[in-house]
């Protein structure tokens, strides 16, 4: 059996392998290229008008009257902030509780019941959440607290529910990544379950939990259809929780279909602001989770 | 033609900054069973993986020196690695049947080498399983999963699997470390039978196994060869004190 | 072998799809785009028209008046639909009035306020009157609902009611007549404006300056909030676009319009 | 007393955590039951197979089902090869380094971009610049870009969980890299990869913001890749928001929920099989 069999064949295969490697590299750059193309197009469409009218009048102007060439995005920027803060105020306590219960308190059977339910939460289309807001939450707020019902409060609650899956799944990962020896050590020292969570697990999983909150924030900032349905979309800084509010995303979606000329450019400029916010959040989340990976 | 099949000259293997094999010189003779013994992390497995260049798959792998198989340096730039690995078949410490049927496990290598015809494959599978000493036990369930076999059967399946590629050398990396005595015995029997057609290198952490089946035995320590010689000599009158100490269980 | 089979399959798929890959605007499709106020009626016309012209595809897209006009200018559609008058550089297009539409100021049916002066409406939407009380209603804050910037309905309302005054920033803003109607129908304190044709039993249209929002009052000029619905085209409409516009303006087409609550032009 | 304090806190904490968790679960169950209770009575064979009439006031939702399926199929056909290919490259063909870091960073950033940005982008590139118009093609391409990061991540996880020994065995039996990938790694990772694809199908079914600006909202039955088509989610959005027909809105929502439930069950089933295989 000695001697070369099919000597050339193997070499040809190897050359094929090099070609395949090259092809895969090209494919692997698809995600990066898409990101790049999106950036180029959004920024390319959105920034000229910002230069034309000045960044200050865009970012700090409080009047949004495109028909009068007034493109102040300040109310929408503040609106996005308010709604996101509200969503976090609701989503984070619920989300972290679920994560802790899932990893520390629930029996295997209960976990098996709760986990799919929460995964299901992530799959429900955002329009369905928005719809639930319209038919249940908005009338409830209007009857109970007054005002139009379409409000910061309604948007915060619905978005708070919508960010739950993100917050839960990433916090669960972070909590599970804490080495079991920490947990055992703490219990061995006589700490109760809750004390262990509070004193040992939370600090150990902190960066992962922060990452989960930041990613949840990204989801809340970026959500569009649900917000548009329940926020009321008034282009004014809301004076109370019950006042209507317009976010950056709703500003785009609300007027995109109809806009032409500079109005459309201004909506792309809105997109640019949103894009920058999201990229900053992404980068922070990436950095915290990278730190987490380095320091186990 | 001399009876030297593999010559290793001044061979060192690095992974990043770590040197696992240090200036190794060793000859392997045709149609012998060369036993390699030594304590854990003495470079035995790394040595086997250098012979069929599996080390290439590890990040930061580089080497010095030469390994010459049948007159050709296997690290020469024009060497076909795929072809090389077919010539030096390898059995790992833990049996790893692929998640497919017994038949397909054995036929795997032959298919990759381009065998397509069913009757040809059938013959190869049967022949290999017979040589591996497994045919009788599985002939009525060739289509069931290879992972459903017992540990010993799995390891013999792995042996049969490399025979199907028609190698010249068989490299075994502690093939019986997880097996019961009966399975171990069956594998050793197969090896003795296979010797006449193949050159076999057997890494083992069980010195008695080397004593039972190896023609010659090499003792590795800290990534280097301490000594090599006829098995009987190594076990009874080693030249080096460290060999003696190891065999008497003073370390390792 | 297997690879070759996959490749063949893929190729076959591509070939199968390619004859289906007609470019928009080509072939026998007539594309209308623009005002979402006109869209439902255009859909209706298209539905009926295609029954008698089965090989004649009519594709109705929304997008809003301004977008429709732009699409028409750029040739992306043959007919642009506008629910406001043309202005500025749009005036080089040819416009045909295909119907007229009243704008109704609507409130919740339970609202005791039945009639307003146009000047009151203007003050409400400017944010100067914040409560229903001075208007004869309960002491509740008014929920003002408007359409978004760029909408033809908002454009018409701005022109007919507001003049140079801005609609105030705190007004709830929605992007369709239907949504405005939904919100007004659900909020007892809300007021909004929608196409008269879309007023139903869920909302009540207010009398303005003493005239009820009826076809009759629009016809005799007593109800002032009226806007034209326009079909615009580059140059005189020809071919399929002409056929369709002729159908819309025919007795049958206009009868359809009347049934849906718009005002015919003939 | 000192012994009692922590136990009281412990009890309160446990009660609080459980309460919040149960509320979360209850909210979800409520949403699903609410939609199903009002939507299921509307459902019938005809609802699924008849085209919408009168803006969706009457008739069924057939054309929107077709539109949804067409968009999803197109998006997955584009995104799956790219995503799995990227995952293969990242796991099998590289040992890290700046290129890998750039690719990973790109995928992670893409995952965080809101769908409305994808919608804007798809609108400007496919609908206007490339002149595809509002069409299944524009919508499918946009959706494909959106799904890409999900598919990359899940495929990468799946491929990473294939035992490294399989690769060693395959190589030692004289396989080339590509043979090892296609004959050993991919078959073993398949359930995990399919799970990711199925998940992304779920995501594209529910997507609204990205499709409404790229695929348009025409209610006619799409006849080609260049037809505009309304998806079920967009149809539901318009029906509900403009108050066109509440029963039909609930019916459409019920279909959406059932589809999502089905998809989750399927992924659950696939994932379980996958996990059982490798643990």
| pLDDT, tens only, D176-197 | 888 899 999 999 998 889 988 9
Q: Do B81 and A7 touch (CB under 8 A)?
A: no
> Do A166 and A131 sit in the same domain of this protein?
yes
CB spacing of D163 vs B96 below 8 angstroms: yes
Chain B residues near residue D176 by CB distance under 8 angstroms:
82, 112
Question: Could you tell me if A47 and A145 lie in one domain?
Answer: no
Q: Please tell me the distance in Å from A237's CA to the nearest CA on chain D.
A: 22
D194 interfaces chain C, CB cutoff of 8 Å: no
Is residue A59 a part of any domain in this protein? no
pLDDT(B200) > 80: yes
Query: Residue A123 and residue D109: Cβ atoms within 8 Å?
Result: no
> Residue D165's CB: how many other CB atoms inside 10 A?
14
pLDDT for A6: 39
What's the pLDDT at C236? 87
Please check whether residue A123 lies inside any domain of the structure: yes
Could you tell me the pLDDT band of residue C1, with boundaries at 50, 70 and 90?
very low
Coil, strand or helix: which one is D85?
A: helix
B168 contact residues in A (CB cutoff 8 A): 1-2
Please say if the pLDDT value at position B1 is more than 60: no
Same domain, A138 and A35: no
Asked if B162's CB is within 8 angstroms of D173's CB, the reply is: yes
Interior/surface letters B130-151, b for 16+ CB within 10 angstroms, e for the rest? ebbbbbebbeeebeeebbebee
Q: Give D179 to chain A, closest Cα distance, Å.
A: 9
Let me know whether A22 and A169 are in one domain: no
Measure D234 CA to nearest chain B CA, in Å. Answer: 44
The more confidently predicted of residues B238 and D270 is B238
Contact flag D241-C179 (C-beta cutoff 8 Å):
yes
D179/chain C closest Cα distance in angstroms? 13
Residues A108 and A137 occupy one common structural domain: yes
Provide the b/e sequence for C186-206 (b: ≥16 CB within 10 Å). Answer: bbbbbbbbbbbbbbeeebbbb
Q: How many whole angstroms separate alpha carbon C32 and alpha carbon B215? A: 90
A136-155 tens-digit pLDDT: 999 999 999 988 999 999 99
The full set of domain ranges for chain D reads 45-278
For the domain spanning C101-226, the CATH number is 3.40.190.10
- Model confidence pLDDT, tens digit, residues B106-135: 999 888 888 889 999 999 999 999 988 899
Residue A240, min C-alpha distance to chain D (Å): 25
Mean per-residue pLDDT over chain A, rounded: 88
Same domain for A94 and A192?
yes
Task: Assess whether pLDDT exceeds 90 at residue A222.
Answer: yes
Nearest to B29 by CA among B54, B8, B52, B53: B8
Gap between the Cα atoms of C219 and A22, Å rounded: 73
The backbone region for B76, taken as left when phi is positive above 0, alpha when psi lies in -120 to 50, beta otherwise, is beta
Q: Are A127 and A135 in contact (CB under 8 A)?
A: no
Q: Tell me which of B57, B157, B168, B170 to substitute to probe the interface with D (most D C-beta atoms closer than 10 Å).
A: B57
Test the A interface: residue of D68, D79, D186, D208 with most A CBs within 10 Å: D208
- Topology adopted by domain C2-100+228-259: D-Maltodextrin-Binding Protein; domain 2 (3.40.190)
pLDDT band at residue A11, thresholds of 50, 70 and 90? low
Is residue A58 in a domain?
no
Tell me how close the Cα of B228 comes to any Cα of chain A, in angstroms: 26
B129 touches chain D (CB under 8 A): no
Q: Which of C48, C42, C74 is nearest to C61 (CA)?
A: C42
Query: Which residues of chain C have a CB within 8 Å of the CB of D241?
Result: 176, 178-179, 182
pLDDT at residue A10 tops 60: no
Reported confidence tier of residue C18, pLDDT bands at 50, 70, 90: very low
Per-residue pLDDT band for D170 (boundaries 50, 70, 90) equals very high
Neighbouring C-beta atoms of residue B205, cutoff 10 Å: 18
What is the pLDDT at residue A292?
54
A25 interaction partners in chain D (CB closer than 8 Å)? 89, 93, 99
- Residues A265-281 as b/e (b if ≥16 CB within 10 A, e otherwise) read bbbbbbbbbbbebbbeb
Does the residue A216 lie in any domain?
A: yes
Same fold: C2-100+228-259 with C101-226: yes
Chain D nearest CA to C176, separation (Å): 7
Whether residues A37 and A82 fall in one domain: no
Classified as helix, coil or strand, D228 is coil
| pLDDT, chain D, mean | 89
User: Measured over all CA atoms, what is the biggest interatomic distance in chain D, rounded to whole angstroms?
Assistant: 77
In a mutational test of the D interface, the residue from C10, C23, C24 whose CB has the highest number of chain D CBs within 10 Å is C24
Looking at per-residue pLDDT, the higher value among C70 and D29 belongs to D29
CB-based contact D217 C61, cutoff 8 Å: yes
Among candidate residues D64, D49, D77, the one with its CA nearest the CA of residue D211: D64
User: Are C24 and D226 inside 8 Å of each other by CB?
Assistant: yes
Domains of chain B by start residue, with CATH: 4-247 (3.40.50.300)
Say whether pLDDT at C50 is over 90.
no
**Looking at the partner chain, which of D95, D172, D187 has a beta carbon nearest the beta carbon of B54?**
D172
Closest residue on chain A to D110 (Cα): A35
Q: Does B156 touch chain D (CB under 8 A)?
A: no
Which runs of consecutive H residues, i.e. helices, occur in B67-206? 81-87, 102-112, 118-131, 135-138, 151-163, 181-194
Give the distance from residue D198's alpha carbon to the nearest chain B alpha carbon, in angstroms: 23
Reference A196, options A105, A293, A106, A112; nearest CA is: A105
Q: With an 8 Å Cβ cutoff, is D57 touching chain C?
A: no
Look up the CATH number of the domain holding residue A263: 1.10.3720.10
CB A122 within 8 A of CB A105: no
CB-based contact D131 C21, cutoff 8 Å: no
Per the prediction, chain C carries an average pLDDT of 84
The angle, 0 to 180 degrees and rounded to 10, between the axes of the packed helices D186-206 and D232-241 is 20
Share the mean pLDDT of chain B. Answer: 90
Asked if A46 and A181 sit in the same domain, the reply is no
**What three-state secondary structure class fits C28?**
coil
Q: Is the pLDDT of residue D143 over 80?
A: yes
Does D101 contact A at CB distance below 8 Å? no
Query: What is the pLDDT averaged over residues B190-211?
Result: 91
Q: What is the pLDDT of residues C199-233, one digit of tens each?
A: 989 999 999 999 998 888 888 889 989 988 999 99
Residues of chain A in contact with residue C66, where contact means CB-CB under 8 angstroms, are 258-261, 263
Domain boundaries, chain C: 2-100+228-259, 101-226
- How much is the pLDDT for A4? 36
Q: Are residues A139 and A46 in the same domain?
A: no
The reply to whether A105 and A219 lie within a common domain is: yes
Q: If you average pLDDT over residues A62-75, what whole number do you get?
A: 91
CB B220 within 8 A of CB B36: yes
Query: No. of H helices and E strands in chain B?
Result: 10, 10
pLDDT at residue A290 tops 70: no
Query: Where would I find the beta strands (DSSP E) of A7-93?
Result: 64-65, 70-71
Question: Greater confidence, B104 or C261?
Answer: B104
Q: Identify the band that residue A12 occupies on the pLDDT scale cut at 50, 70 and 90.
A: low
Model confidence pLDDT, tens digit, residues B36-83: 999 988 889 999 999 989 988 888 889 999 999 988 899 988 888 888
From chain A, the residues in CB contact with D239 under 8 A are none
Residue C58 pairs in a beta bridge with C30
ipTM surpassing 0.90, yes or no?
no
Q: Is the domain of A109 the same as that of A179?
A: yes
DSSP-derived pairing of the beta strands C57-63 and C29-34: parallel
The 10s digit of each residue's pLDDT in C82-110 is 988 887 788 888 999 998 888 999 999 99
Q: Cβ contact (<8 Å) for C44 and D217?
A: no
Please say if the pLDDT value at position D238 is more than 50: yes
Inform me whether the pLDDT recorded for A207 exceeds 90: no
pLDDT band at C16; cut points 50, 70, 90? very low
Q: What percent of chain B clears pLDDT 90, i.e. is strictly above it?
A: 54
Q: What's the rounded Cα separation, in Å, for the pair C254 and C260?
A: 10
Please judge whether B98 and D277 are an interchain contact, meaning their C-beta atoms are less than 8 angstroms apart: no
- Nearby residues of A151 by Cβ (< 8 Å), 6 or more positions away: A138, A141, A230, A231, A232, A238, A241, A242, A243, A244, A245
C53: closest CA among C244, C251, C254? C244
Mean pLDDT over A255-284 rounds to: 89
Record: contact B83-A1, CB cut-off 8 A: no
Q: Is the pLDDT of residue C22 over 50?
A: no
| Interface contact D242-C182, CB threshold 8 A | yes
Number of domain units in chain A: 2
**Does A6 contact B113 at a Cβ distance shorter than 8 Å?**
yes
Q: Chains meeting B at 3+ CB pairs closer than 8 A?
A: A, D
For residue B109, which residues of chain D lie inside 8 Å, CB to CB?
173-175
Domain that holds residue A30: 2-53
Q: How many CB pairs under 8 A join B and D?
A: 60
Write down the pLDDT at residue C39. Answer: 85
Q: Which of A1, A7, A13 lies at the smallest CB-CB distance from B168? A: A1
Is the residue at A169 inside a domain? yes
The minimal CB distance from B99 to the residues D167, D173, D188 is found for D188
* pLDDT score recorded for residue B219: 94
CATH class of D45-278: mainly alpha
């Amino acid at each position: 059996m000695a001697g070369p069999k099919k000597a050339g064949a193997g070499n040809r295969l190897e050359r094929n392998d090099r070609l395949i490697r090259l092809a895969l590299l090209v494919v692997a750059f698809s995600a990066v290229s898409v990101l790049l193309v999106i950036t180029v197009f959004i920024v390319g469409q959105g920034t000229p008008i910002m230069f034309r009218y000045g960044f200050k009048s865009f970012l700090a102007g409080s009047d949004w009257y495109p028909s009068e060439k007034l493109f102040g995005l300040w109310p929408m920027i503040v609106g996005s902030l308010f709604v996101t803060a509200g969503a976090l105020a609701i989503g984070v306590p619920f989300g972290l509780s679920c994560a802790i219960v899932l990893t520390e308190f629930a029996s295997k059977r209960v976990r098996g019941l709760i986990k799919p339910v929460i995964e299901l939460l992530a799959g429900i289309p955002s329009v369905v959440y928005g719809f639930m807001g319209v038919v249940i939450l908005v009338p409830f707020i209007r009857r109970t607290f007054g005002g139009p019902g379409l409000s910061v409060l309604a948007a915060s609650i619905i978005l708070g529910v919508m960010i739950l899956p993100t917050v839960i799944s990433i916090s669960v990962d972070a909590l599970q990544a804490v080495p079991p020896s920490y947990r055992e050590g703490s219990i061995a020292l006589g700490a109760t379950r809750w004390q262990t969570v509070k004193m040992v697990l939370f600090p150990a999983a902190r960066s992962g939990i922060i990452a989960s909150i930041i990613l949840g924030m990204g989801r809340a900032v970026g959500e569009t259809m649900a917000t548009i349905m329940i926020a009321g979309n008034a282009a004014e800084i809301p004076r109370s929780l019950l006042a209507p509010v317009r976010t950056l995303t709703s500003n785009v979606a609300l007027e995109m279909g109809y806009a032409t000329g500079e109005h459309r450019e201004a909506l792309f400029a809105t997109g640019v602001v949103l894009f920058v916010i999201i990229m900053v959040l992404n980068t922070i989340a990436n950095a915290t989770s990278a730190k987490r990976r380095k320091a186990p | 033609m001399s009876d030297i099949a593999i010559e290793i000259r001044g061979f060192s293997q690095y992974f990043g900054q770590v040197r696992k094999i240090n200036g190794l010189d060793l000859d392997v003779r045709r149609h012998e069973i060369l036993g390699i013994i030594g304590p854990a992390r003495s470079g035995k497995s790394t040595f086997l993986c250098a012979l069929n260049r599996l080390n290439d798959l590890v990040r930061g792998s580089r080497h010095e020196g030469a390994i010459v198989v049948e007159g050709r340096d296997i690290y020469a730039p024009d060497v076909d690695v795929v072809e090389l690995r077919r010539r030096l078949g390898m059995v790992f410490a833990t049996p790893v049947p692929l998640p497919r049927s017994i038949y397909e496990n054995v036929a795997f290598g032959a298919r990759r080498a381009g065998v397509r015809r069913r009757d040809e494959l059938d013959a190869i599978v049967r022949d290999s399983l017979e040589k591996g000493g497994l045919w009788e036990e599985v002939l009525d369930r060739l289509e069931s999963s290879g992972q459903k076999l017992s540990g010993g059967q799995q390891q013999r399946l792995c042996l049969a699997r490399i025979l199907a590629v028609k190698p010249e050398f068989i490299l075994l990396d502690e093939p019986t470390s997880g097996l019961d005595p009966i399975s171990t015995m069956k594998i050793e029997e197969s090896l003795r039978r296979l010797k006449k057609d193949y050159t076999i290198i057997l890494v083992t952490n069980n010195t008695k196994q080397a004593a039972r089946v190896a023609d010659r035995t090499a003792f590795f320590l800290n990534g280097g060869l301490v000594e090599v010689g006829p098995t009987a000599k190594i076990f009874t009158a080693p030249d080096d004190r460290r060999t003696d100490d190891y065999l008497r269980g003073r370390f390792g | 072998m297997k690879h070759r089979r996959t490749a063949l399959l893929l190729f076959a798929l591509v070939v199968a799809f390619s004859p289906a890959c007609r470019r928009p605007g080509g072939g026998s499709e007539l594309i209308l785009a623009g005002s979402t106020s006109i869209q439902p009626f255009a859909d209706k016309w298209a539905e009926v028209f295609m029954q008698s012209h089965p090989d004649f595809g009519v594709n109705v897209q929304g997008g809003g008046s301004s977008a429709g006009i732009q699409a028409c200018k750029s040739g992306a559609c043959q007919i642009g639909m506008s629910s406001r008058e043309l202005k500025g550089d749009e005036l080089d297009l040819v416009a045909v009035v295909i119907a007229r539409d009243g704008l109704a100021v609507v409130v919740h049916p339970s609202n005791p306020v039945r009639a307003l002066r146009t000047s009151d409406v203007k003050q409400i939407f400017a944010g100067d009157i914040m409560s229903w009380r001075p208007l004869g209603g309960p002491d509740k804050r008014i929920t003002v609902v408007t359409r978004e910037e760029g909408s033809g309905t908002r454009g018409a309302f701005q022109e007919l009611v507001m003049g140079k005054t801005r609609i105030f920033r705190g007004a709830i803003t929605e992007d369709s007549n239907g949504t405005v109607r939904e919100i007004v129908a659900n909020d007892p304190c809300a007021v909004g404006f929608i196409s008269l044709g879309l007023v139903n039993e869920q909302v009540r249209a207010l009398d303005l300056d003493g005239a009820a929002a009826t076809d009759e009052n629009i016809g005799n000029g007593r109800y002032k909030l009226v806007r034209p619905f326009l079909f615009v085209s580059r140059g005189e409409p020809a071919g399929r676009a002409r056929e369709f516009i002729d159908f819309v303006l025919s007795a049958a087409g206009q009868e359809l319009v009347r049934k849906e609550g718009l005002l015919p032009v003939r | 007393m000192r012994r009692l304090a922590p136990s009281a806190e412990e009890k309160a904490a446990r009660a609080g955590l459980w309460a919040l968790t149960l509320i979360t679960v209850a909210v979800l169950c409520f949403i699903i039951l609410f939609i199903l209770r009002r939507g299921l009575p509307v459902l019938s064979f005809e609802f699924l197979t008849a085209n919408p009439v009168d803006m969706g006031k009457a008739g069924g939702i057939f054309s929107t089902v077709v539109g949804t399926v067409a968009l999803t199929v197109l998006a997955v056909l584009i995104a799956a090869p790219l995503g799995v290919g990227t995952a293969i490259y990242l796991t099998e063909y590289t040992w890290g380094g700046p290129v890998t870091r750039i690719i990973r960073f790109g995928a992670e950033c893409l995952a965080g971009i809101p769908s409305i940005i994808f919608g804007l982008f798809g609108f400007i590139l496919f609908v206007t610049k490339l002149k595809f118009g509002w069409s299944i093609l524009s919508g499918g391409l946009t959706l494909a870009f959106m799904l890409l990061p999900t598919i990359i991540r899940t495929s990468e996880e799946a491929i990473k969980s294939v035992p490294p020994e399989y690769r060693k065995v395959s190589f030692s039996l004289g396989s080339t890299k590509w043979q090892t990938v296609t004959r050993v790694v991919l078959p073993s990772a398949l359930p995990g990869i399919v799970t990711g694809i199925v998940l992304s199908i779920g995501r594209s079914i529910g997507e609204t913001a990205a499709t409404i600006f790229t695929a348009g909202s025409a209610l006619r039955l799409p006849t080609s890749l260049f037809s505009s088509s309304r998806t079920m989610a967009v149809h539901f959005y318009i029906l509900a928001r403009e108050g066109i027909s509440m029963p039909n809105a609930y019916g459409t929502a019920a279909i959406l929920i059932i589809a999502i439930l089905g998809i989750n069950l399927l992924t659950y089933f696939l994932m379980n099989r996958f996990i059982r295989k490798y643990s």
